Structure 1
Amino acid sequence: MSIGELAEQAGVTVKTVRFYSDRGLLPETGRSAGGHRRYGAEALDRLRLIRSLRALDLPVPEVGRVLDREDVLEGVIAGQLRSLGTQLNALRWREAALRLLTDCTAEERADRLRLIGAVPTPPDTTALARFWRQWLPARLPARLVSVILEQAVPQPPADPTPAQVLTFARLHALVSGACDPHLGPEHTQPASHRPDRDFRPDVLYDGLLESYALASADLRAQRSPYDGEALDCFVSAYAGSRGLRDTPDLRRRLGSQLAADPRIDRYWQLTAELTAPPSGPPAPTAGAAHDWLCAALDAQLAR
Structure 2
Amino acid sequence: MFSSPDGLCGIGELAERAGVSVKTVRFYSDSGLLPEASRSAGGHRRYGPDSLERLRMIRSLRTMDLPVSAVRRILDEEDTAGRAGGALEDAVAGQLSTLGSQLTALRWREAALRSVQECPAPERAARLRLIGSVTAPPSTAPLARFWRAWLPPRMPARSVGAFLEAAVPQPPEDPEPVQVLAFARLSALVSRPCDGNEATQPHAHRAAGARASAVLYAGLAEAYDLASTEMRQDREPFPGEALDGFVDAYASAHGTADTTDFRLALARQLAADPRIDRYWELTAELVSRPVGPPEPTPGSAHDWLLAALNVQLGTALPA
Assess same fold via TM > 0.5.
yes
Equivalent AA in structure 2 for residue 154 of structure 1: P
CA contact (8 A) 1:225 1:296 kept: yes
Deviation at 1:159, TM superposition (A): 1.1
1:191 and 1:14, CA in 2 relative to 1: closer, same or farther beyond 3 A?
same
8 Å CA contact 1:99–1:162 kept in 2: the answer is yes
Closer, same or farther in 2 for the Cα pair 1:60/1:160, shift >3 Å? same
Match of 1:43 among 51, 63, 68: 51
2:253 aligned with 1:241, yes or no?
yes
Equivalence for 2:4: none
Stretches of structure 1 lacking an aligned partner (at least 5 in a row)? none
Amino acid at match of 1:251: R
Query: Are 2:98 and 1:90 aligned?
Result: no
Distance 1:197 1:93 in 2: 42
**Does 2:239 align with 1:227?**
yes
TM-score for both structures, normalised by structure 2: 0.87
Q: What is the CA-CA distance between 1:198 and the residue it aligns to?
A: 9.0
Q: Does 1:118 align with 2:147?
A: no
Bigger Cα displacement from structure 2, 261-270 vs 272-281: 272-281
Alignment coverage as a number of residue pairs: 300
SS class of match (2:293): coil
Q: 1:24 is matched by which residue type in structure 2?
A: G
RMSD between aligned alpha carbons?
A: 2.1
Task: Detail structure 1 runs of 4+ shifted over 4 Å in the superposition.
Answer: none
3-state SS of 1:102 partner: helix
Deviation string 1:59-118 (CA, Å, 9 cap, x unpaired) is 222212211123311111111111111111111111111111112234321221121121
1:13 counterpart letter in structure 2? S
Output the CA distance in 2 between the equivalents of 1:81 and 1:218.
38
**Match for residue 196 of structure 1?**
208
The reply on whether 1:132 has 2:147 as its aligned counterpart is yes
* Equivalent residue for 2:285, pick from 251, 268, 273: 273
Quick one: which amino acid aligns to residue 272 of structure 2? A
| Residue 80 of structure 2: aligned partner | none
Per-residue CA distance 1:38-61 (angstroms, 9 max, x = gap): 111111111111111111111222
The partner residue of 1:34 within 42, 57, 60 is 42
Name 2:88's counterpart in structure 1. Answer: 73
State the alpha-carbon separation in 1 of the partners of residues 226 and 200 from structure 2.
28
**2:224 counterpart of 1:212:** yes
Match status 1:170 vs 2:185: yes
Q: Residue 81 of structure 1: SS of its match in structure 2?
A: helix
Structure 1 window deviating more from structure 2 (31-40 vs 210-219): it is: 210-219
- Give the alignment's TM-score, normalised by structure 1: 0.91
Deviation of 1:214 after TM superposition, in Å, equals: 2.6
Q: Measure, in 2, the Cα distance between the counterparts of 1:273 and 1:145.
A: 24
CA distance in 2, matches of 1:124, 1:80: 21
Partners of 1:77 and 1:145 in 2: CA distance: 35
Residue 197 of structure 2 aligns with an amino acid whose one-letter code is: L
Matched to 1:239, the amino acid is A
Cα 1:48/1:84, change in 2 over 3 Å: same
Question: For 1:166-201, what per-residue CA distance to the aligned partner results, in whole angstroms no more than 9, with x for missing partners?
Answer: 111111211222222x237xx111113447359711
Which shows bigger deviation, 160-169 or 272-281? 272-281
Structure 2: how far apart are the matches of 1:221 and 1:107?
A: 41
Could you tell me how far 1:278 is from its partner in structure 2? 4.7
- Aligned equivalent of 2:166: 151
**Aligned AA (1:188):** T
What residue number does 1:183 align with?
Answer: 197
2:166, 2:247 → 1: CA distance? 21
Aligned-partner SS, 2:117: coil
Contact 2:153 2:210 in 1 (8 A): no
Deviation at 1:293, TM superposition (A): 1.6
Q: Which moved more, 1:209-218 or 1:258-267?
A: 209-218
- Among all aligned residue pairs of Structure 1 and Structure 2, give the percentage whose two residues are the same amino acid: 63
In the alignment, the residues of structure 2 paired with residue 282 and residue 23 of structure 1 have an alpha-carbon distance, to the nearest angstrom, of 55
Letter in 1 for 2:55: L
**Contact 2:107 2:175 survives alignment (8 Å):** yes
TM-superposed CA distance for 1:147, in Å, is 2.6
Q: Find the aligned partners of 1:126 and 1:99 in 2 and give their Cα distance.
A: 25
